[in-house]
Structure 1
């Protein structure tokens, strides 16, 4: 009778645990160096296994990248959709979305750089999949910012387009800052953003922008 395959990895490490270690190491490597510069030997060294074993578990470099990308991107998309809900025009929606982003990334903050990796080779499955997630998140941002502007009385499509870009860059900047401050919890970051938004609101008087 054939012996069933073992569920353990090398040196007695259960296979699922070893795979999780590989994904964590790969996420750190892709985030730190970008897809183009990351290497399977470096990822294997982070785990303490051979490149051959890493390949047996995870397949090609692109397969490994996708295995890191998809779970975090799905988690982010779901969190943003839930935070926006049916009332995207609410003035509290931006803070809810930011809190959702921070919460979805907590414990794996560097995964943001895996999703928004500009070194992905064009035309490949990695770039195609990441691009689909970028566009899905952009559509949510475009819809949410347009609704906020309509609620504020602006129907200019160029206002909506400009605000979408501002929002996208703002979120990316805040996440990058947060990654450099690991002591900041998602709740603390959301409170900080609320203070920053309140301070920014004082720059423009309630009567509208003043000409110099």
Structure 2
């Protein structure tokens, strides 16, 4: 998934295309290295332009990060909303959400780490923007996990809170594993998750024991 450095200069390249090239390269840089370690010269080298041009197009490093974050956050949030659907949560919903996340990330898997970057400067624009997207995803997950528990006969809010933590870590772990296995398609990952869920159901103790 590496972006090969472009040999093209700035002349003769439409501004919209150059901006897209910069955003693609920057998303890969931020996603693979994290905000703190990401380098504007490295991003410029990926595209074949100067660091000065990056500033002319997107401003500061933090501005560029936010420009990368917004399409990533919008895409993932939209995918989760669509997967959850308007008809309420069913036992199939978690698998459908995972499939939507894998599909939304395919071809740019490292973009997940742009949204979930722990190296962002605290209190800054980038941290606030990322936190906003994560909170929106968490609200959807909280509603879904609470509804699943109600369907299973549990109204305990602590159960819902615990399941939200489990779900959040489960998704992050599955994405990290997937990034390390680039041969795995979204469809293959969805089938794998279905098998894992089935195995977990077999291993779970029967209710009331």
Q: Same fold (TM over 0.5)?
A: yes
Distance, in Å, in 2 between the alignment partners of 1:157 and 1:176 is: 29
Correspondence for 2:207: 208
Correspondence for 2:35: 35
Distance, in Å, in 2 between the alignment partners of 1:9 and 1:88 is: 51
Correspondence for 1:155: 155
Correspondence for 2:24: 24
TM-score (norm 1): 0.91
Correspondence for 1:3: none
TM-aligned CA deviation for residue 209 of structure 1 = 6.5
Q: Spell out, residue by residue over 1:22-48, the C-alpha distance to the aligned partner (whole angstroms, 9 max, x if none).
A: 111111111122111212112111212
How has the CA–CA distance of structure 1 residues 199 and 209 changed in structure 2, closer, same or farther, with 3 Å as cutoff? farther
| Contact 2:90-2:148 within 8 A present in 1 as well | yes
Correspondence for 1:5: none
Distance, in Å, in 2 between the alignment partners of 1:23 and 1:132 is: 21
How has the CA–CA distance of structure 1 residues 71 and 183 changed in structure 2, closer, same or farther, with 3 Å as cutoff? same
Correspondence for 2:4: none
Correspondence for 2:169: 169
Moved more, 34-43 or 155-164: 34-43
| Contact 1:105-1:112 within 8 A present in 2 as well | yes
Correspondence for 2:62: 62
How has the CA–CA distance of structure 1 residues 209 and 176 changed in structure 2, closer, same or farther, with 3 Å as cutoff? farther
Unpaired segments of 5 or more residues in structure 1? 1-7
Distance, in Å, in 2 between the alignment partners of 1:92 and 1:145 is: 12
TM-aligned CA deviation for residue 12 of structure 1 = 2.3
Unpaired segments of 5 or more residues in structure 2? 1-7
Across the two proteins, how many residue pairs are aligned to each other? 202
